[in-house]
Structure 1
Amino acid sequence: MLVNKHILASSSVHATPYYVVRGVNPGPVMLITSGVHGNETASMAAAQQLADDCIAGRHIIQRGLLIIIPRVHQQAYRKKIRGKPDLNRTFPRRISGKAKHPLASAVFHLARQYQPDWWLDLHEANGLSQLSSRVLGQTLITNPGSRAVPVCKRLIKQMNRSIANQDRHFNLKQHELPGSARTAGARLLQARTVTVETCWSLKRSVRIKYQRQIVHHFLREAGFM
């Protein structure tokens, strides 16, 4: 396994590290992004820990290519804000369209370069979806009709079996969000794209644990391990 560190948008104020992890054998491609919103720190910590584990050899990718961008929006992260404008509304909406923010453009250009089979975008949200269908905390979100739906359903069952408190159980939501990384990846790259949302009201250590577990489940399902 080989891990290389690079800098995205290296000549701009949006410069941020990313990691390319090459598995022992050829296989699928997965892109993991986090920190599209700068105040969602647990998801960023989970992504960085995965990169660090790969570098240290604590996590072995047997097959495929894994690209990890732990802190997409460094400027928003430094201020601990969501970001203005909302970066997750600025990704391309049409094949001929362009991103409305240079950072979204850089991320999507990288995605086009690697053509991921899977794109996981790690986030955090308010509220527990078990208690209200109007909130996004503890959900996996994908586009309607996505080929990711069966995998998401299996993964949610696995996760919920390990969570004793039913209020914290995960749910599946299916909807498009034009301008988001998820919908851009699904529409324009035909990737299986999933937004992972943990709930802000939970302890940060618990949110990090859930994010890491979900990513590992996806890696197994996609054949990386």
Structure 2
Amino acid sequence: MQITKHQLAKGTKFETPYYIIKGNTAGKTVMITAGVHGDETANVLAAKKLVDLLQKNVHHIDKGTLIIVPIVNQIAYKRRFRGIPDLNRTFPCKPNVAARHPLASELFRLAKQFQPEWYIDLHEARGFSKIDPSVLGQTLLTNPRSEAIPLVKRIVNHLNRSIAQKSRQFSIRIRHLPGSGRTAAYRLLKSNSITVETSTSMPKAIRVEYQMKILRYLLNETGLIKDERTSATA
């Protein structure tokens, strides 16, 4: 396994590190982004924790390539606000149409370079989707007709079996979000794209753990790591 650190949007005010982790043999390519919105912090901590565990060889990429961008929007993250404009509405919506923000353009260029089979965008949202279907806390989202739908269902079923408190269980939302990284990767790169939304109504440590469990399950399913699944706890 080889881990290298790089800089996205190098030399600009949007510069932010990302990591490329390559296994010893060929396999799928998975891209993970976090910190698109600066006021969502548990997803950033989960992405950083995953990098740390890989660097310590606690988790090991056996085959394939993993790209992790732990804090996409450094400026918004330092100020702990969503970001103006909302970065997750500025990704390209059509072929040959540019992104509407330099950082979205750089991130999409990176995705286009690696053509990931899987594009995972980590987020957080208010409330609990099981109580109020209009909110996104505790949901996994993917696009209509996406080949990611069966895996999303397996992840949600796997998590919910061990979450005793039904209000904290995960839901599935299947919808496009034009301008988002998820939908841009799906429509323009043909990636299997998933958005993870843990609920900010829970303690941060629990949110980080849910994000980590989802990532471990997904990396196991895509063949990048082996025997790393653990059950979620409420």
Place the TM-score, normalised by the shorter chain, in its bin.
over 0.9
Q: Which residue of 2 aligns with 1:147?
A: 147
Partner Cα separation in structure 2 for residue 112 and residue 169 of structure 1: 34
When the two structures are aligned, how many residues end up with a matched partner?
A: 225
What are the within-5 Å matches in structure 2 for residues 148-167 of structure 1? 148-167=148-167
- 2:34 paired residue number: 34
Q: TM-score, normalised by structure 2?
A: 0.95
Q: Please state how far the C-alpha of 1:172 moved relative to its aligned partner.
A: 0.7
Look up the SS of the partner of 1:43 in the other structure.
helix
Looking at structure 1, the residues matched to 163 and 10 of structure 2 have their Cα atoms a distance apart, in angstroms, of 41
Secondary structure of the residue aligned to 1:201 is coil
Per the alignment, residue 45 of structure 1 pairs with 45
Which residue identity lines up with residue 174 of structure 1 in the other structure?
Answer: I
Identity, in percent, stands at 48
The residue number in structure 2 matching 1:126 is 126
Query: What is the one-letter code of the residue matched to 1:6?
Result: H
Paired residue for 1:201? 201
RMSD: 0.6
Residue deviations 1:74-93, cap 9 Å, x none?
00000000000000000000
Superposition misfits of 4+ residues, deviation over 6 angstroms: none
Task: Compute the displacement of 1:129 (Å).
Answer: 0.6
Q: Map of 1:1-225 to 2, 5 A cutoff?
A: 1-225=1-225
Mark the runs of 5 or more structure 1 residues left unpaired by the alignment.
none
Question: 1:213 Cα deviation (Å)?
Answer: 0.3
Residue 17 of structure 2 aligns with an amino acid whose one-letter code is P
Gaps of at least 5 residues in structure 2 are 226-234
Amino acid in structure 2 at the alignment position of 1:184 = A
Mean CA deviation greater in 157-166 or 189-198: 157-166
- Report deviation, 1:26: 1.0
Per-residue CA deviation, residues 173-206 of structure 1 (Å, 9 max, x unaligned), is 0010100001000000000000000000000000
Q: Which moved more, 1:160-169 or 1:193-202?
A: 160-169
State the 1:107 CA deviation.
0.2
Give the match's secondary structure for 2:107.
Answer: helix
What is the CA–CA distance in structure 2 between the aligned matches of 1:195 and 1:113, rounded to whole Å?
21
For residue 103 of structure 1, report the CA deviation from its aligned partner: 0.2
CA distance in 2, matches of 1:111, 1:36: 15
